[in-house]
Amino acid sequence: MASRPRPLPLRTPRVAEAVAAHLRLRILDGELPDGAELPPEAVLLQQYPASRPSLREAFRILETEGLLTVRRGKVGGFIVRSPTPDTAAYHMGLLLHSRAIPMPDLAAARNLLEPWCAEQAALRPDRAEVGARLRKVNEAAAECVEDGPAFTEAAGSFHEALVDAAGNQTLRIFAGMMEAIWSVQERGWARKAADEANYPHISLRRSVLKAHDAIAKAIETGDAELAGKLTRSHLAASQLYVASDEAGTVRMLDEYGMPRMGFGTNGSPSE
């Protein structure tokens, strides 16, 4: 059991920021695990020489960062939320949105990272199992090929699995964040295209499935060069719709300021 932290001598005029910094470190180091309840206010006031208003300001700082969520009701309190790739992707997406990053720009960055992920997946010792898993994801997408928006989401799952198969943890996080942001844009496009009866013909969807299957087989056989080449070619063809010159810029929020799509749990925005 972790020893109780000693009170810190806080000499900074921004006491709330200092308290938030120490609590943040305890969360990131796992001393305060994800899903745990933050110690009661009275206990924290004993641990930190701070006033109640400063302590509550520290809570607000961490809540803004997504590291704490408020539990409402009679038994209220703060719940610890560890950072996740989903929340990181959302905030990265907000940054791209605020900079009005053009969709072709996002697509170009994706085209650099994802083929590399495919190459790394093909070099893994367990590449046969990785390729088999990717083919199962592709088979699931084939089951909804007649429903445009559903197919877009299912096909996106293949790319998310491909990035996850890279092996390198840092690469998986960075590429996964980009893939999540791309998926938000792609799903928004798919819904709009379906509503306007402009979604690509089913023959093109079947071409997507064939491309995915070829990538999975290249990984399964350990052909890293082919896996990267096929992924690069597939992305160039499949992104023409979402990243056209008329596609506009990256958007994470709608006109009402609400998240366009969800990312998952642990405090992430939801659809």
Do 70 and 127 share a structural domain?
no
* First-to-last C-alpha distance (Å) of the chain: 39
Measured CA to CA, the distance from residue 57 to residue 62 in angstroms comes to 9
For residue range 152-201, list pLDDT tens digits in order. Answer: 999 999 999 999 999 889 998 999 999 999 999 999 999 999 999 999 99
Do 142 and 44 share a structural domain?
no
Task: Tell me the sheet residues that pair with 71.
Answer: 77
Inside any domain, residue 248: no
Q: Which two tokens stand for residue 252?
A: 């994470």
Q: What is the pLDDT of residue 253?
A: 86
Do 46 and 144 share a structural domain?
no
> Packing angle between helix 103-122 and helix 148-164, nearest 10 degrees?
50
Q: 270 pLDDT exceeds 50?
A: no
Do 149 and 36 share a structural domain?
no
Measured CA to CA, the distance from residue 226 to residue 215 in angstroms comes to 8
Q: What is the pLDDT of residue 114?
A: 96
Do 93 and 76 share a structural domain?
no
Q: What is the pLDDT of residue 4?
A: 60
136-140, 173-177, 206-210 — which is least confidently predicted? 173-177
CATH number of the domain to which 26 belongs:
1.10.10.10
* Domain count of the fold of the chain: 2
Do 174 and 233 share a structural domain?
yes
Q: What is the pLDDT of residue 263?
A: 57
Do 135 and 103 share a structural domain?
yes
Inside any domain, residue 42: yes
Q: What is the pLDDT of residue 267?
A: 41
Inside any domain, residue 210: yes
Do 155 and 103 share a structural domain?
yes
Q: What is the pLDDT of residue 49?
A: 86
Inside any domain, residue 259: no
Average pLDDT, the chain: 89
Do 21 and 99 share a structural domain?
no
Do 97 and 155 share a structural domain?
yes
Counting residues of the chain whose pLDDT is more than 70, the rounded percentage is 89
CATH number of the domain to which 112 belongs:
1.20.120.530
| Cβ–Cβ under 8 Å, residues 62 and 56 | no
Q: What is the pLDDT of residue 35?
A: 93
Inside any domain, residue 154: yes
Measured CA to CA, the distance from residue 270 to residue 260 in angstroms comes to 9
Measured CA to CA, the distance from residue 213 to residue 215 in angstroms comes to 5
Domain containing residue 131: 85-238
Do 65 and 114 share a structural domain?
no
Counting residues of the chain whose pLDDT is more than 90, the rounded percentage is 73
Residue 66's nearest CA partner among 268, 271, 203 is 268
DSSP 68: E
Do 91 and 165 share a structural domain?
yes
Inside any domain, residue 250: no
What SS3 class is residue 229? helix
Q: What is the pLDDT of residue 76?
A: 72
Inside any domain, residue 245: no
Inside any domain, residue 176: yes
